Amino acid sequence: MRAVLLIIVVAILGVVGWKKRDEIPFLRDAAREVERQADKVEVPKIRFDNDPPATSGAPQGKPPAGGARRCVVNGSVLYTNDACPAGSTEQQVKGGTITVMPAYKAPPAPASAGSGIPNARELLAPKGGTLKDQAHERAMEGL
């Protein structure tokens, strides 16, 4: 019972302190100090995909080593960070960002025409047989 009363008193004091935080000197000073410290902290700028590219000291004519390259192969465009393949023409990347996505893996072909998606009974069946089968095996081992 004392613990409940103690919790209620602490909660009431917390609410009163929160409501009167501007009138209590040490709370007011602490809030001002937190605001001053927050003003001194430098927050890094977040770069988004559609932001213009950051200019660097790299020359504009040739892409930097390991940088993105745009290769035109038989009319299709290929972006790579290596040298363009033989028989293709390299073009300058005009800017922007390139987002690399993992390659799409096609699902394996079914073994036969009738072995499509397994039904729920096969998916939810216990591994290693049913409990009844396991009990039979234990009984047979005990003989």
Every domain of the chain and the residues it spans: 2-40, 61-95
pTM above 0.75, yes or no: no
| pLDDT score for 11 | 95
Alpha helix (H) residue ranges in 1-143: 2-19, 25-40, 120-124, 131-142
So what's the pLDDT on residue 59?
47
Beta-carbon contacts of residue 79 (< 8 Å; ≥ 6 apart): 68, 69, 70, 71, 93, 98
pLDDT at 134: 82
| pLDDT for res 22 | 75
Residues of the chain where predicted confidence (pLDDT) is lower than 50: 57-60, 63
On whether the CB atoms of residues 69 and 79 are closer than 8 A, the answer is yes
For residue 7, what pLDDT is reported? Answer: 95
